[in-house]
Amino acid sequence: MSKAYSPSRAVSASTIDNWDGEADVVIVGFGGAGACAAIDAAREGARVSLLEVASAGGGTTALAGGQIYLGGGTPIQNACGFTDTPEDMEAYLSMAAGEGGDAQKISAYSRDSLEHYQWLVDQGVEFNPEFYAGKHTNTPEYQSLTYSGNEKGYEESQRAAPAPRAHKPHAFWEEGGTTLMNALTDAVLAAGVSVHYDSRVLTLVVDDERVVGVLCRQDGEVRALRARRGVVLCSGGFIMNREMVARYAPRLKDATPIGNPADTGSGILMGISLGAAAVNMDEAFVSVIWYPDGRYCEGVFINARGQRFVNEDCYHSRGAHHCLNQSGRKVYMVVDASIYREPPMYANPQVVEVGESFAELERDAGFPPGSLTSTLEEYNRFAEQGEDPFFHKSSEFLRPLNESPYALLDFTIGPGMYYPAFTFGGLDTTIDGEVRRPDGSIIEGLYAAGRCSAGLPRSGEGYASGMSIGDATYFGRRAGRAAARNG
Amino acid sequence: MSKAYSPSRAVSASTIDNWDGEADVVIVGFGGAGACAAIDAAREGARVSLLEVASAGGGTTALAGGQIYLGGGTPIQNACGFTDTPEDMEAYLSMAAGEGGDAQKISAYSRDSLEHYQWLVDQGVEFNPEFYAGKHTNTPEYQSLTYSGNEKGYEESQRAAPAPRAHKPHAFWEEGGTTLMNALTDAVLAAGVSVHYDSRVLTLVVDDERVVGVLCRQDGEVRALRARRGVVLCSGGFIMNREMVARYAPRLKDATPIGNPADTGSGILMGISLGAAAVNMDEAFVSVIWYPDGRYCEGVFINARGQRFVNEDCYHSRGAHHCLNQSGRKVYMVVDASIYREPPMYANPQVVEVGESFAELERDAGFPPGSLTSTLEEYNRFAEQGEDPFFHKSSEFLRPLNESPYALLDFTIGPGMYYPAFTFGGLDTTIDGEVRRPDGSIIEGLYAAGRCSAGLPRSGEGYASGMSIGDATYFGRRAGRAAARNG
């Protein structure tokens, strides 16, 4: 076994002289999806091996802020005085997923949300029944509940009663992901899962179209590990694989990858090697952040033609979607003196111009005469009446820009501006994580969950914080159970 | 062999008891790509079988207007008084392909364009050295040369000297594709290719990761056809496969598929079954047509917020790209009495409102007060000076809208409006048509060309008429030659 292996080329079981180890279920990757798959597979009575390329578990989930999109009337929602129903949650997630949404997954996830909440609590994940009402990317202290998407948006709120659904484990600020993974790691070990770190899965082993194991590099050796019932791929997305990004999501090339270094798409490639459908590959969370603590939501986004293009109080990845969607991608924010004190958190937009009037900004920045001023005067005219008939920004953030001087901030993607991105594309799976070919048939013995599958999050325009970890943990569990029961 | 075969599942050669036929090169699909692959494979000395599911050849190429994107100084360009260089052509095609462009293919295609022109002439394709200067979707009579993209656009013309590059075979109006395929069909037969109609290729046959043949349904029987050197997939895109569209390009669901009924993506699925990378799957030609004879290019596109969003003299698929890109997809065109006589060719926009003034249109159609009027007054103010600083519409079509009454036409995608679409996604191939896995490795014995591969056309925003047939014929030839020389 000295040849070079590629995740893009599975190997035949006939080439395996003898297995170096075996389990009922082999799980690839110890992030949120892999941990939950391992726990529930073990609880089903399976002997589970969990292989992690890094020297510790956690994956990208541990790096995240840790919000989990849960609803339908969780104890935390109720304690904070909010009502929610599975139906409203399902309606909202359907809008959020957009045209590529997986209706079956959205429905199952919404209906089982209370059960999944309780399951997380049972694993030792604590939530703090405190609501954060501000505008931020995460709750800034220990609060567990907040709005994390566009639930209160004009379109959305007409079609689904808004409720805050981001549930962050009880932890300070951005430590929610680490806190979540600490609890899940304890649960993995308590469930009797056999965890192997520093174990890079190289490729799948197949026997007559059925996945029967993996080749894995451990201690410098290639070992063949047999999976009697199934392999569950939970190895993350592909944002760290620049070749895959160039091939499958070239639009992301100027964005900043976020994730862990192992988000190289290896699980997706392993599925593709066996004829799986990889779908939604061009879509991603791409963000630009302007709003903590909400002050910059009072500003006005402007494109190169002086046109406004989005409600400035929308979720940050929706804002970025529209920023990147403007012809030529050149975008600005106009603020007045009451907004601008320091650059917004996470962003570092350069001040292009400062002026005493809109006309001065317009002239000095080279906008066509009358363009920027007419947009801003129109904005102010409506804002004075408490209206935004164009984009329906909430009254909370709607006020005329009228305290000079005014500043034009450059929000264009490029050096100096932070547009973080991770991918939404991956293997097409059933609600039980079974990996499908394009004709809908199942690849026997192969499962996937988390960001190496295409799950709830399908669109950067519709994303809400917590959808990815929610998807990874819930469908990770389902994939683990399905693999444990297989064959 | 009574089981159901799927293009998503290749079969092993070990299941073939005996081959029912064999050739050096088996070509799947008799459209533009397949015809050219067959001709050049046969010229290389290979025994070629060309399998076509329909009862006659032609494919989608024969249904098309027949423009072929050629340049670099063709005899037709020269005869019509235009100069062009391979460098300008390459620069333009790079812009047209956008971020997902294949630089190697663009370069090879541009450098070999004169050779490819001559090759087409040698097959009996005649071109008429007459230039059509009007604004249309194709030359309206027998003219062979016209501008077919955004070559004269503001950005494009600054980075590549514009030249007309659409070469339609000598034929009346939209008969260019049929005329082209008639010539190529004669050449296929003259080259000694063995053509089999009513032959549906079901799936690939593989032997130790190498493609060695196909299963094919002929006369109601499943036959195994051996391909000693290679199989070339030329079976078209997937716009007629609604499940694939839903899975891979959900954005297209409201568009009208154009192509032939066999554009079901079967070749793409066959490649995927062996672990090939399928890329650019979300992208497509999507069009909406407003401009023959150019009169409607004088109108003004408007979104639901009363904003203008594109130069109205751009190529039709760029216009459609921007129409579909507006939030909520609601789009209109405003025209005046000098423009509106009958609906534009191919489109049938409903007249939403007619009014004596912009203010009347605005009020009656429910735009926010001042929004539509300020956009149109600004447009007129600049147009009177011969300027369009926002989108740089050509002076040819730039004039103020000032002949009342004015009309607001609904260009929103949906019932009644024609948004034709075909797909740009397909198998990732080398410039010689070799089908690649995501890791760049080659699947032995497998080639693809035309719209079942990802070729020159990568973006609806950048497409120009003739790029798809140009790509299919040129890279079809290369794939045929490479297969003929293989092994």
For testing the chain B interface, which of A8, A391, A436 should be mutated: the one with the most B CBs within 10 Å?
Answer: A8
Distances in Å between the Cα of B364 and the Cα atoms of B316, B359, B373, B437 are: 29, 8, 12, 56
Together in a domain, B397 and B434: no
Q: Are B421 and B259 in contact (CB under 8 A)?
A: no
* The token pair that represents A157 in the structure block: 């709120």
Of B251, B269, B327, the CB nearest to A438: B269
A378 and chain B: CB distance < 8 Å anywhere? yes
Q: Read off the pLDDT band of B328 (50, 70, 90).
A: confident
Q: What is the pLDDT of residues B30-64, one digit of tens each?
A: 999 999 999 999 999 999 999 999 999 999 999 99
CA dist B64 and A194 (Å) reads 60
Distances in Å between the Cα of B31 and the Cα atoms of B35, B36, B169, B262, B341 are: 6, 9, 16, 11, 39
* The token pair that represents A446 in the structure block: 């192969």
CA dist B38 and B112 (Å) reads 19
| Nearest CA among A25, A71, A22, A7 for reference residue A479 | A25
* The token pair that represents B222 in the structure block: 């499943």
- Chain A nearest-CA distance from B201, in A, is 16
CA dist B51 and B49 (Å) reads 6
How confident is the model at residue A341, as a pLDDT?
A: 85
Q: What is the pLDDT of residues B161-177, one digit of tens each?
A: 999 999 999 999 999 99
A441 contacts B9? CB cut-off 8 A: yes
Q: Annotate A449-473 with DSSP letters as a single string.
A: -GGGB--S---TTT--TTHHHHHHH
How confident is the model at residue A386, as a pLDDT?
A: 97
Kind and range of the H or E run holding B120: helix B113-122
Together in a domain, A305 and A279: no
Of A98, A248, A439, the CB nearest to B269: A439
Together in a domain, A283 and A300: no
Identify the burial level of A2 via C-beta atoms within 10 angstroms of its C-beta, where 0-12 means exposed, 13-18 middle and 19 or more buried.
exposed
Q: Are B30 and B207 in contact (CB under 8 A)?
A: no
Torsion, Cα of A266, A27, A279, A204 (10° steps): 60
How confident is the model at residue B1, as a pLDDT?
A: 42
A251 contacts B9? CB cut-off 8 A: no
A437 contacts B272? CB cut-off 8 A: yes
B381 and chain A: CB distance < 8 Å anywhere? yes
Residues 228-287 of B with CB under 8 A from A: 243-244, 247-248, 250-251, 253, 269, 272-275, 277-279, 281-282
Together in a domain, A337 and A260: no
Kind and range of the H or E run holding B303: strand B300-303
pTM of the model: 0.96
| Nearest CA among A234, A278, A285 for reference residue A258 | A285
Distances in Å between the Cα of A316 and the Cα atoms of A286, A311, A416, B80, B235 are: 9, 11, 17, 53, 42
Torsion, Cα of B139, B141, B145, B148 (10° steps): 0
Together in a domain, A15 and A99: yes
Together in a domain, A406 and A270: no
A-chain residues near B391 (CB < 8 A)? 305
Q: What is the pLDDT of residues B103-123, one digit of tens each?
A: 999 999 999 999 999 999 999
Kind and range of the H or E run holding B22: strand B21-28
Q: Which of B410, B442, B469 is the last residue of a domain?
A: B410
Together in a domain, A231 and A179: yes
How confident is the model at residue B293, as a pLDDT?
A: 80
How confident is the model at residue A1, as a pLDDT?
A: 42
Does a structural domain hold residue B263? yes
How confident is the model at residue B270, as a pLDDT?
A: 98
Max intra-chain CA distance, chain A: 78
Residue A332 bridge partners (DSSP): A302, A410
Does a structural domain hold residue B315? yes
A437 contacts B9? CB cut-off 8 A: yes
**Kind of pairing, strands A442-448 and B131-132?**
unpaired
CA dist B177 and B168 (Å) reads 8
CATH number for B251: 3.50.50.60
End-to-end, the C-alpha distance of chain B in Å comes to 29
B-chain residues near A389 (CB < 8 A)? 368, 371
Per the structure, the complete domain to which residue B354 belongs is given by 295-410
Across the range B321-343, mean pLDDT stands at: 94
Across the range B362-370, mean pLDDT stands at: 97
Together in a domain, B16 and B151: yes
Together in a domain, B364 and B479: no
Residues 388-447 of B with CB under 8 A from A: 389-391, 428, 437-441
How confident is the model at residue A3, as a pLDDT?
A: 65
How confident is the model at residue B415, as a pLDDT?
A: 80
Q: Where are the beta strands (DSSP E) in B157-299?
A: 166-167, 194-196, 200-207, 210-218, 221-233, 256-257, 278-279, 284-286
Does a structural domain hold residue A74? yes
Together in a domain, B54 and B132: yes
A307 and chain B: CB distance < 8 Å anywhere? yes
Does a structural domain hold residue A308? yes
Does a structural domain hold residue B415? no
B6 contacts A441? CB cut-off 8 A: yes
Q: Which of A386, A410, A434 is the last residue of a domain?
A: A410
* Structural domain count of chain A: 2
How confident is the model at residue A437, as a pLDDT?
A: 98
Together in a domain, A343 and A269: no
Identify the burial level of B442 via C-beta atoms within 10 angstroms of its C-beta, where 0-12 means exposed, 13-18 middle and 19 or more buried.
middle
CA dist B85 and B438 (Å) reads 34
B-chain residues near A325 (CB < 8 A)? 325
How confident is the model at residue B2, as a pLDDT?
A: 44
B282 contacts A9? CB cut-off 8 A: no
A371 and chain B: CB distance < 8 Å anywhere? yes
Q: Is the pLDDT of residue B347 over 80?
A: yes
Does a structural domain hold residue A9? yes
CATH number for B383: 3.90.700.10
CA dist B239 and A49 (Å) reads 43
Q: What is the pLDDT along chain A (487 residues), one digit of tens a residue?
A: 446 899 999 999 999 999 999 999 999 999 999 999 999 999 999 999 999 999 999 999 999 999 999 999 999 999 999 999 999 999 999 999 999 999 999 999 999 999 999 999 999 999 999 999 999 999 999 999 999 999 999 999 999 999 999 999 999 999 999 999 999 999 999 999 999 999 999 999 999 999 999 999 999 999 999 999 999 999 999 999 999 999 999 999 899 999 999 999 999 999 999 999 999 999 999 999 998 889 999 999 999 999 999 999 999 999 999 999 998 899 999 999 999 988 888 888 999 999 999 999 999 999 999 999 999 999 999 999 999 999 999 999 999 999 999 999 999 998 879 999 999 999 999 999 999 999 999 999 999 999 999 999 999 999 999 999 999 999 999 999 999 999 7
Q: Are A233 and A426 in contact (CB under 8 A)?
A: no
For testing the chain A interface, which of B159, B371, B376 should be mutated: the one with the most A CBs within 10 Å?
Answer: B371
Q: Read off the pLDDT band of B3 (50, 70, 90).
A: low
A9 contacts B439? CB cut-off 8 A: yes
Q: Are A34 and A59 in contact (CB under 8 A)?
A: yes
Of B244, B368, B439, the CB nearest to A438: B244
Residue B211 bridge partners (DSSP): B206
Q: What is the pLDDT of residues A415-427, one digit of tens each?
A: 879 999 999 999 9
Does a structural domain hold residue A415? no
A-chain residues near B368 (CB < 8 A)? 382, 389-390
Number of helices (H), then strands (E), belonging to chain A: the values are 14, 22
Residues 81-120 of A with CB under 8 A from B: 98-100
Nearest CA in chain B to A437: B8
**Kind of pairing, strands B200-207 and B210-218?**
antiparallel
B6 contacts A244? CB cut-off 8 A: no
Does a structural domain hold residue B478? yes
Residue A169 bridge partners (DSSP): A127
Q: Which of A410, A436, A466 is the last residue of a domain?
A: A410
Together in a domain, A77 and A225: yes
Nearest CA in chain A to B389: A368
